[in-house]
């Protein structure tokens, strides 16, 4: 009797297994095809403020914006490796939004779109609206609130359009600017703001770094351009919103690809680099010079982008961090403010008063894509040597340095240039202690080695 029951039970189990086998094989097949896959999506939203907002960048500018020359955009690149999802947001603005506002957006999209991190990177155009770190209760400009909502919505929409993606990198060279700090034979620094004769200066960074992201059919989704130069072809007499030359560059590149991709500008270490035609008066054909400057960069960027062969990564991975480093204020605020208040207007004095505090908390961005492509960002205006140094020392084949990222804390000169002096090197706009830039650069490099598994937290035996 027992033997008959066992036979019946075995027969039932076998029948059930045979019935479930096709479903099991289908599930296994789905598991194989659904292995970690690199995905991407793009979005763009217009964040041009209403007219009359004060414009960023020039203390001698009088009046707010009177018209719009070209729209100001926030561009979103969403990336996913199967388990991590993050967003890169570039802004046609003088700086990124204040820390509490960026953090609020990050919390929103983490909940609504499963985005673990959002990196903000501004072009530093001097023809965008003024932004501050924080505002008195109830005084946040409505334009900022609306823009942050638009950006969050763009990220959320992109999350619903993620597609399998490939990527590749390429490099070119062009010079649209010069180093504005001229070290004279006697050791003093003379500011060379404009250089229409294109006299060679040193150091400069002519590198045009390009990251191209395609869908699996080879259609370009995003083209990211990394270059170091202040967007200040327009000067204080320009009262029109404009992305300056990065906007002209992006428009040119997109047109070369039938307007199918979104072109992103990643501003580099541009703290001491000006365009040759700096602060061109409108009466001297500034519009034409701005367009020509952008298109010169765009021509090289498009040439490089066309030559890039994109590939789907075998082992997609997104490793990232946004670490806060605290630095002391460089100046004795008690001695600086009485002098400052005698030479600037009340609004400017108020801005500096709020900024002259210690410690200064600087977020340092580190991003490693597929263990091959590294991005590092500083929250302000790093001098050009930081970008050159990062590329030379980075432990991966493709390294891109980004300034004006995730905050704004003034200029970051090198130790050498801080001693030599000049604007941005020992002026009031240099807020952090000497050596802050080097400390952030080293931190970013250490993070990359850690992400690659080449620095351990256990000593060797």
Using the predicted structure, report yes or no on whether residue 33 has a pLDDT greater than 50.
no
| pLDDT-wise least confident of 6-20, 215-229, 306-320, 398-412 | 6-20
Under 8 Å between Cβ of 421 and 430: no
d(CA 174, CA 275): 12
d(CA 431, CA 440): 15
| pLDDT for position 34 | 52
d(CA 30, CA 25): 8
Using the predicted structure, report yes or no on whether residue 196 has a pLDDT greater than 90.
yes
Q: How far apart are the first and last CA of the chain?
A: 65
Closest CA to 229 of 254, 201, 188, 251: 201
Which tens digit of pLDDT belongs to each residue from 48-76?
999 999 999 998 898 899 999 999 999 99
Q: Where are the domains of the chain?
A: 39-307, 318-451
Q: Which residues contact 314 (CB under 8 A, 6 or more apart)?
A: none
Under 8 Å between Cβ of 53 and 174: no
Using the predicted structure, report yes or no on whether residue 20 has a pLDDT greater than 60.
no
Helix/strand/coil (H/E/C) assignment for every residue in the chain: CHHHHHHHHHHHHHHHHHHHHHHHHHHHHHHHHCCCCCEEEEEEEECCCCCCCEECCCCCCCCECCEECCCCEEEEEEEECCCCEEEEEEECCCCCCCHHHHHHHHHHHHHHHCCCEEEEEECCCCCCECCCCCCCCCCCCHHHHHHHHHHHHHHHHHHCCCEEEEEEEEEEECCCEEECEEECCCCCEEECCCCCCCCCCCCCCCEEEEEEEEECCCCEEEEEEEECCCCCCECCCCCEECCCHHHHHHHHHHHHCCCCCEEEEEECCCCCEEECCCCECHHHCHHHHHHHHHHHHHHHHHHHHHHCCCECCCCCCEEEEEEEEEECECCCHHHHHHHHCCCCCHHHHHHHHHHCCCCEEEEEEEEEECCCEEEEECCCEECHHHHHHHHHHCCCCEEEEECCECCCCCEECCHHHHHHCCCCCCCCCCCECCCHHHHHHHHHHHHHHHHCCCCCCCCCC
- Show the CA angle centred on residue 210, arms to residues 229 and 288, nearest 5°: 45
The CA–CA distances, whole Å, from 289 to 231, 244, 251, 285 equal 12, 10, 15, 7
Q: Per the structure block, which two tokens stand in for 142?
A: 């409505």
Which residue shows structure tokens 């001695």? Answer: 335
The mean pLDDT of the chain is: 92
Which tens digit of pLDDT belongs to each residue from 257-278?
999 999 999 999 999 999 999 9
Prior bond to 390 cis, omega within 30?
no
Which tens digit of pLDDT belongs to each residue from 334-353?
888 787 777 666 667 777 77
| pLDDT for position 234 | 98
Using the predicted structure, report yes or no on whether residue 14 has a pLDDT greater than 70.
no
Which tens digit of pLDDT belongs to each residue from 398-450?
999 999 999 999 999 999 999 999 999 999 889 999 999 999 999 999 999 99
Using the predicted structure, report yes or no on whether residue 31 has a pLDDT greater than 70.
no
- Better pLDDT: 89 or 137: 89
* pLDDT-above-90 percentage for the chain: 83
Say how many C-beta atoms besides its own lie within 10 A of residue 146's C-beta.
13
| pLDDT for position 340 | 75
Over range 140-159, report the average pLDDT.
98
Prior bond to 148 cis, omega within 30?
no
Which tens digit of pLDDT belongs to each residue from 279-297?
999 999 999 999 999 999 9
| pLDDT for position 15 | 52
Q: What pTM was estimated for this model as a whole?
A: 0.91
272-301-371-381 Cα dihedral, nearest 10 degrees: 20
Using the predicted structure, report yes or no on whether residue 1 has a pLDDT greater than 80.
no
């Amino acid at each position: 009797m027992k033997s008959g029951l066992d036979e019946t039970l075995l027969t039932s189990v076998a029948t059930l297994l045979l019935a479930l086998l096709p479903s099991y094989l289908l599930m296994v097949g789905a598991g194989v095809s659904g292995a970690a896959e690199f995905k991407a999506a793009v979005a763009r939203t217009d964040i041009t403020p209403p007219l009359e907002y004060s414009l960023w960048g020039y203390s001698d500018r009088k009046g707010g914006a009177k018209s719009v020359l070209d729209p100001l955009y926030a561009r979103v690149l969403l990336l996913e490796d199967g388990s991590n999802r993050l967003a890169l947001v570039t802004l046609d603005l003088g700086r990124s939004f204040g820390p509490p506002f960026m953090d609020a957006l990050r919390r929103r999209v983490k909940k609504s779109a499963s985005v673990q991190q959002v990196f903000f990177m501004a072009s530093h155009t001097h023809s965008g609206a003024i932004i501050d770190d924080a505002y008195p209760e109830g005084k946040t400009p409505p334009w900022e609130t609306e823009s942050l909502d638009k950006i969050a919505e763009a990220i959320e929409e992109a999350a619903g359009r993620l597609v399998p993606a490939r990527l590749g990198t390429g490099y070119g060279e062009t010079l649209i600017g010069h180093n504005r700090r001229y070290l004279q034979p006697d050791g003093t620094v003379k500011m060379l703001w404009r250089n229409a004769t294109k006299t060679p200066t040193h150091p400069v960074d002519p590198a045009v770094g390009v990251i191209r992201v395609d869908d699996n059919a080879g259609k370009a989704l995003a083209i990211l351009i990394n270059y170091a130069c202040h967007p200040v072809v327009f000067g204080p007499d320009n009262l029109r919103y404009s992305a300056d030359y990065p906007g002209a560059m992006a428009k040119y590149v997109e047109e070369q690809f039938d307007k199918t991709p979104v072109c992103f500008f990643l501003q580099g270490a541009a703290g001491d680099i000006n365009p040759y035609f700096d602060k061109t008066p409108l009466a001297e054909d500034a519009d034409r010079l701005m367009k020509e400057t952008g298109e010169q960069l765009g021509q090289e960027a498009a040439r490089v982008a066309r030559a890039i062969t994109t590939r789907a990564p075998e082992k997609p991975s997104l490793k990232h961090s946004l670490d806060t480093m605290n630095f002391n204020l460089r100046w004795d605020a008690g001695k600086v403010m009485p002098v400052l208040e005698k030479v600037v207007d009340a609004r400017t004095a108020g801005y500096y008063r709020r900024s002259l505090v210690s410690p200064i908390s600087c977020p340092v961005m580190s991003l490693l894509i597929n263990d091959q492509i590294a991005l590092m960002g500083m929250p302000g205006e790093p001098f050009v040597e930081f970008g050159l140094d990062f590329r030379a020392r980075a432990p991966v084949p493709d390294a891109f340095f980004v300034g004006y990222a995730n905050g704004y804390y003034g200029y970051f000169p090198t130790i050498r240039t801080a001693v030599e002096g000049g604007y941005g090197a020992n002026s009031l706009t240099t807020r952090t202690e000497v050596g802050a830039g080097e400390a952030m650069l080293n931190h970013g490099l250490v993070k990359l080695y850690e992400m690659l598994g080449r620095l351990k937290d256990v000593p060797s035996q």
